[in-house]
Each structure stands twice: as structure tokens, then as C-alpha cells.
Structure 1
């Protein structure tokens, strides 16, 4: 028994000590969706989680950061909030290992010099094998598009309706009201006449919580309003397929303009 335990211990440590090769991770362009900025940022967050577990840090972290996709397709860290400044070197070093990518923007043209702001959690005890499977698209617990669902997510005050169209309309209406109730135009943007349209993407988990908030397009100072609004969403009733809760992606534009 001791011998088996020792072998398992050695195998685990060998796996943790091996440096992951990400050369081919960000080169899968077999669909428009897989060449989008949000898709690759989502996968990049999974890479962050995988490497965070390997680094053997012992506390859960909630991170908000801004990256820039430069003219040669490299992700660069340009901002991380103060409470996680000790992770700056961790992210910078890891992003240097990620190869250049060719990503399409909303107009299906090559994205260059684009900013991405995201908020996500790093779990020190996450399942490494599941994270690895997600990185290389071999996972079974995939994030579903909202159109794939049998029952759409809903707010706690809304009784789920068997009419899918009505149910989705009600969910969209509640999201819109939440945005209107929590929208604050950034003072810096007002003072500097900054306008634009951002795109906000997030994942509704199986328990109804919201994670992996990603904001793209327009000036990065506008991104933080989107992050703040979605962070304030209440716990939702999750989407369902075949009677089981599933992870669901949802995205919407957020426009900043002066009236």
C-alpha cells in the first residue's frame, strides 16, 4: 500500500513539475465562434486557473484585470487591481508563454490593439484534470449557448414559463432593468468625452451564480462599468437541458453615449 501511495505521489509531482506547452492551444479556428476574442479569453482564464493550481497557492482569489491584444496577436497585462498585485508577475510570465493568435473582432476582421477586461476566480483546489481537459477542449461539462437550452435562466422573482420565447423575453427584460438600475457613466469618461459600445459576456453556473465576466470593445475605462453591473446580478435560476442545470454563456452590448 505504501509503495502504491509513493508511486501516485511521484506521478502527481511529475505532472505538476512539467511545463505545459500552449503552442497549439490557441490555434483552433474551425469556426467563427472559436476565433472570437471572448472565446479565447474564456480559454485563457482556464489556463490561468490551471497554472494557479500548479503554483500551489493556498487561497481563493477573485481577480479583475485588463489585457491588450497587440498588433502581433500577443496578450499583454496592462492592469490588475491592487489587492492582487502580487500576482502580476504570475500573469505576465504566463502570458509570455502564450503564442501569438489571430482573432476576429465583431466585424469578422483581425482584432489588433484591442482591450479585454475580465473578472474571474482562481481556485487553489480546482481539479487539474478537468482544467486540462477544458484547455484542450476535451471536457464533458461544456458551457452551453443559450439557444441550446430547454429552459432559460431566470430571476428569482419570475416563475419559469414553458413558452421558451416568452421565458427568454422575460429574462432579457430583467437583465435590461438590472442594467438601467445599476448603470453609472464613469466620471473619467464624462470628463474626457469617451463614448462607445462594449460587449459584455458572462457565464451563469449550474448553481445560478455568475462567473467569468469578460468585457471587450471600446475604451477600457468603460469596461469596468460592465464588470460592476454584472457583478451585482442576484443569484439566478440556472438554465436547464433534459431537466438538469447546465453552465450557460450570455452576452449583450452596453452602449455609452451622451444624450
Structure 2
């Protein structure tokens, strides 16, 4: 009988018409892909998708959608949905069209790029009132509302338990998050049956955003088989509300990540 081992290391609506020139602004920064942080680059793509979402047919726009799905990279180095949750089937074509407009994703520049074939994602689409707002103002709003900060840029790191001001020591703040993630992983870890039967193993990387309210609303999982990615995403969904990170006296959204290794012996 196979034994299951898991290893985790904690680390740190207006109908606007967009011109070609405006698209270049909308996609600004998408062509500077990080060599290591896949998640951060997808957060920028999500911002673009949120903008596009507010321009489609009004009957398709809801106040909020929670999109969960699997992306696969195609021969043009662009991602497309190969699976999406049932509630968002009606906009799958729209989402793939958005992804096709984004610049190619240069996986050869990313560490372990050869292992980057699928991503499992969860993110929000929200309805915004853009009536009477100029395009450049919309871009500014999108950037501010969806901006994520690197954890090392903060005055106070995100933390768990107590009050944020109690965690002036950054190492103590990170330790408080690592402890709770450790507990959540142990409580909710389950090796997928299909993966066990087919000897599927691997190490996932889970990127998520702790938003200004301390909630986890955006998750990107990669570097493994999609079935393992999905399990890592399910575990991440069980994480509690955190104390948000603080920068210049204000709560901000922060990127965080942890690896999770699935191994059979």
C-alpha cells in the first residue's frame, strides 16, 4: 500500500470603446514578465480582464463573479481556459478572448518554465460604474484597486491573530501566518484519489493575495499536475482572515506564497 507524504515549506458599467493606443496603456507592464513570480504577472492580467468585463453586454455583467478554472498554455504561448466553474460558462469565450489579447507568456524566461503548462486559478470579477469617467482615470482606479505589494515593501507585514500593531517585528508577523497555514494544511490535506491511482506526484506553488480587508480573494497555483493544483487551491480557500499588511499607515493588498509537495512512497 502506498504511503502518502506531504511536505510544505512556508515562505515568504459604461460601454467604452478602446482604441489601439488605449490598449497599449491597458496592457502596459504585461510584457515585462518576472523570471520567478508567475502569480504577480497574472494579477496584472486579472486587472486587464476586470476592465474588459465592464465593457461586455450588460446582461452578462453581475455585481460579482468568482471565477475558478484551469488554464493551459497554447502553441502561441498564451493561456486559455480548458475548464471553468459552471456559474461562469457563459463568459468562458469572453475570458479566452481577453487572454488572447494579452502578450505571449515567455515561459522560457521563467524558472522551471518547462513545468509551466497548466495553472489553476481563482479570482473575482466585479461590476464598476465607469459612467462619465475618462479612460486614464479608469486605468488609475484599476491600478489602485487591484495593486498588490511585495511583502518586503511594507511597514507592517500581514499577520494572524491579535492586532496588527502587535506585530511590529516582521519575523514574528510572518511566523504567525506560517503557523496558521501549517495548521490549515494539516487539517485539510487530502491526497486526490485519482493522483494516488495514477502515481501523480509533484510540488505546487500557490500564490495568493491577502487583500486590504485581510481576505484571500485571488489564488494562482502552478508547477504541477492540475489535480494537485486543485487540491492546493482547496486548501488555500480554508485559510482565515488575516490582519492586512500596512504601508504608509494604510492597509494594502499583499502577495504571499507557499509550496506544497505531494509525494507517494
Compute the TM-score of the two structures, normalised by the length of structure 2: 0.79
After TM superposition, give the deviation of residue 95 of structure 1 in Å.
2.2
Q: Is the 8 A contact 1:46 1:134 kept in 2?
A: no
Q: 1:256 to 1:72 in 2, by over 3 A?
A: same
User: C-alpha offsets along residues 157-191 of structure 1, whole Å, 9 cap, x if unaligned?
Assistant: 67733322222222212211111111111121112
DSSP-derived class of the 1:17 partner: coil
Partner of 2:226: 220
Question: Secondary structure, in 3 states, of the residue corresponding to 1:72?
Answer: coil
Calculate the aligned-residue CA RMSD, in Å.
2.8
Higher relative contact order (CA 8 A, sep 6+): 2
Instruction: Write out per-residue CA displacement over residues 204-247 of structure 1, whole angstroms, 9 at most, x where no aligned residue.
Output: 11111111100011101111112111112111111112432111
The runs of 5 or more residues in structure 1 that have no matched partner are 1-11
Structure 1 pair 129–49 and aligned structure 2 pair: CA distance change class (3 A): farther
Of 216, 223, 229, which residue of structure 2 is paired with 1:210?
A: 216
Distance 1:210 1:24, change over 3 A: closer
Gap change, CA 1:193 and 1:134, over 3 Å in 2: farther
Q: What is the TM-score of this pair, normalised by structure 1? A: 0.81
Structure 2, unmatched stretches of 5+, are 1-13
Given the alignment of the two structures, is residue 238 of structure 1 paired with residue 248 of structure 2, yes or no? no
Deviation at 1:100, TM superposition (A): 2.0
The answer as to 2:154 corresponding to 1:153 is no
The within-5 A match list for 1:39-188 is 39-55=40-56, 56=58, 57-103=61-107, 104-107=109-112, 110-111=113-114, 114-125=117-128, 132-133=139-140, 139=144, 142-156=147-161, 160-188=166-194
